[in-house]
A and B are shown apart, each in its own frame.
Chain A
């Protein structure tokens, strides 16, 4: 393996600026949507007193989960000594920060009182998982920032392993906290499950790597930098492993519920209901988000194919968003079981499956957060040396020279 040289991307092409402008416009549309929602009140969204968290939360939780997952590539190199991933570690750390920033932008701007962010940052109820998460999110920025610093400043390189280890522990805590937002809710049938925390951790591996792959593959394709089949193949296999792991957790989650009679109703609703959630589960998550990516990642025909790997990543993202929609919206749409064995009706939608129709502003806010994450990443790789000049096999494959190629 030869030493890897990191360089800023040139970033002066028409395409670069057009992409940045497009992302910037999307961020602006997201901000405008947030202003519109704040100005008029949340009645202009599809959210209501039954579905209290909507599309913004689907995007926000997806991005926050993916942020910790994006750090995985760096962890593979620093914590687990997988040297082929080392050249990708700075980008991995960068995307961990930008994706989290995008997710938090959505979450904060969807608050009923976003102007009170300072209250949220200064007044803590330490029994609240949200309060833990605020500490975990802020700490994540700090620790990953330090980790990036140790990676990118040569005389600090010796500390990068230690920093990477702490960042790894922190990201596990962060995703545990995110999963527990739902796992600790005893009131609702679809939540209240300890498995939510580890399930969110494995989901983060898959979603984070998928977003990382999209950016990596697109950037190397558009900048003309070399990306060898060795690394692509390894990342493909890794993505496949993560997707399979998520499937395992999803299967255990549903089997556990299906075993208990009291959960049959909600399982029937999610898995076999005449509603969008069952469609998203079987088509969005299982078929598009799991089976297709697994075939692409493991079938020899697609081995190391950049286009197919990108397709697998996009499918994993589609499946991941489906999963988030099912958990967040589906979990609220199913009526709470206040009176077991009774049919319930009221003026407040008790006992009925509530409908949710997201409106344009909330979708735009979600997309704005995604755009912010990618715009920040795109800008950062232009001004700082995050990306290796070449990721050719000779640069990253430890056995390359031994094979005499």
Chain B
């Protein structure tokens, strides 16, 4: 990819300039390879390992529910595989980081399906209420739980308007090294931060056969997500709460 060359050439330059350049080249590459898997990995250009997350980036999803196919749960399966979220056959207590939700309009009967996960709010209620600061938001908008200082009080679960969080109700085995989990702590979608930081896109977006889940930097005017958000209608779930979500939906 031309991104790699750009990266080398611009290593010494300041972040802002570099990011614009990368975004621009990514968009060019995207235009050339529209519709291909290559495009979806290149758009997720993030940052070198040693560099802290930047507030100039706002990672997010644009989800087109019109593309969401009945009975398809590939995004859910991909997430479960990515983090080894194997259940214990107890739906009430098993963790779900992403779920498919079916909506039926009470008046018209029209149904819609959509994947629902942590909405990575700019003003996350879970972060507000967390007594220890275990719930936190990275500068690039990704909301995470610091498993080292989560005391398992579940106040974030009370406060989350999206029911996006799960409490680990039993002993966990076979964890992934990039996705530590622990009995007695709270967890949720990490926006696959381990992938994003390595310039890859989240597992759910990658797995979606219909490309219904578009991942990208919402702050980068050249990115596809920003351009589509600018040109097509999209909405936030419970936008009345003014939480400025990192996930926007189309078709609801």
A-to-B contact residues, CB < 8 Å: 38, 40-43, 48-50, 52-53, 111-114, 116-117, 119-120, 123-125, 127-131, 134, 181, 184-188, 332, 336, 338-339, 341-350, 354
In the bound assembly, the distance between CA atoms of A354 and B151 in angstroms comes to 25
Q: Would you call A348 and B99 a contact (CB within 8 A)?
A: yes
Q: Would you call A42 and B167 a contact (CB within 8 A)?
A: yes
* Interface assignment of B91: CB less than 8 Å from any CB of chain A: yes
Q: Would you call B159 and A187 a contact (CB within 8 A)?
A: yes
Contacts A123-B149, A341-B107 given; does A49 touch B166 at CB 8 Å: yes
* Interface assignment of B18: CB less than 8 Å from any CB of chain A: no
* Interface assignment of B72: CB less than 8 Å from any CB of chain A: no
In the bound assembly, the distance between CA atoms of A34 and B94 in angstroms comes to 21
- For B153, give the chain A residue with the smallest CB separation: A111
B71-96 vs A, Cβ < 8 Å mask (1 yes, 0 no): 00000000000000000101111111
Q: Would you call B103 and A125 a contact (CB within 8 A)?
A: no
In the complex, chain A residues whose CB is within 8 Å of the CB of B185: 112-113
A41 touches which of B106, B155, B169 (Cβ 8 Å): B169
Q: Would you call B92 and A347 a contact (CB within 8 A)?
A: no
Q: Would you call B102 and A125 a contact (CB within 8 A)?
A: no
Contacts A134-B131, A185-B159 given; does A111 touch B184 at CB 8 Å: yes
Q: Would you call B88 and A350 a contact (CB within 8 A)?
A: no
In the complex, chain B residues whose CB is within 8 Å of the CB of A42: 93, 167, 169-170, 184
- For A122, give the chain B residue with the smallest CB separation: B132
Which bracket fits the contact residues of B? 35 or more
Q: Would you call B133 and A332 a contact (CB within 8 A)?
A: no
Q: Would you call B154 and A125 a contact (CB within 8 A)?
A: no
A112 touches which of B91, B150, B252 (Cβ 8 Å): B150
**Known pairs A41-B171, A50-B163, A120-B151. 16 more at Cβ < 8 A?**
A41-B170, A43-B93, A49-B95, A49-B157, A49-B166, A52-B154, A125-B127, A181-B155, A186-B241, A343-B105, A343-B106, A344-B104, A348-B101, A348-B163, A349-B91, A350-B163
Q: Would you call A128 and B154 a contact (CB within 8 A)?
A: no
Q: Would you call B131 and A130 a contact (CB within 8 A)?
A: yes
A119 touches which of B103, B132, B161 (Cβ 8 Å): B132
Tell me which residues from 106 to 152 in chain B have a Cβ below 8 Å from any Cβ of chain A: 106-107, 116, 125, 127-133, 149-152
A113 touches which of B100, B116, B150, B159 (Cβ 8 Å): B150
* Interface assignment of B186: CB less than 8 Å from any CB of chain A: yes
* Interface assignment of B69: CB less than 8 Å from any CB of chain A: no
At the interface, is chain A mostly helix, strand, loop or mixed? loop
B168 touches which of A38, A112, A120, A342 (Cβ 8 Å): A112
| Most chain B beta-carbon contacts within 10 A, residue among A123, A181, A349 | A123
* Interface assignment of B158: CB less than 8 Å from any CB of chain A: yes
Q: Would you call B154 and A53 a contact (CB within 8 A)?
A: yes
In the bound assembly, the distance between CA atoms of A166 and B153 in angstroms comes to 30
In the complex, chain B residues whose CB is within 8 Å of the CB of A343: 103-106
Q: Would you call B132 and A49 a contact (CB within 8 A)?
A: no
In the bound assembly, the distance between CA atoms of A124 and B134 in angstroms comes to 10
Q: Would you call A120 and B131 a contact (CB within 8 A)?
A: yes
Q: Would you call B105 and A341 a contact (CB within 8 A)?
A: yes
In the complex, chain A residues whose CB is within 8 Å of the CB of B125: 185-187
In the complex, chain B residues whose CB is within 8 Å of the CB of A49: 92-96, 157, 163, 165-167, 169
* Interface assignment of B160: CB less than 8 Å from any CB of chain A: yes
Contacts A342-B105, A342-B106, A344-B101 given; does A41 touch B183 at CB 8 Å: yes
In the bound assembly, the distance between CA atoms of A50 and B167 in angstroms comes to 10
A342 touches which of B90, B103, B158, B184 (Cβ 8 Å): B103
In the bound assembly, the distance between CA atoms of A128 and B171 in angstroms comes to 28
Q: Would you call B131 and A128 a contact (CB within 8 A)?
A: yes
In the complex, chain A residues whose CB is within 8 Å of the CB of B101: 338, 344-346, 348, 350
B132 touches which of A123, A338, A342 (Cβ 8 Å): A123
In the bound assembly, the distance between CA atoms of A129 and B155 in angstroms comes to 10
* Interface assignment of B29: CB less than 8 Å from any CB of chain A: no
Task: Give 7 nearest A-B pairs by CB, closest first.
Answer: A112-B152, A112-B184, A130-B131, A187-B161, A41-B170, A48-B92, A43-B169
In the complex, chain A residues whose CB is within 8 Å of the CB of B171: 41
In the bound assembly, the distance between CA atoms of A128 and B129 in angstroms comes to 4
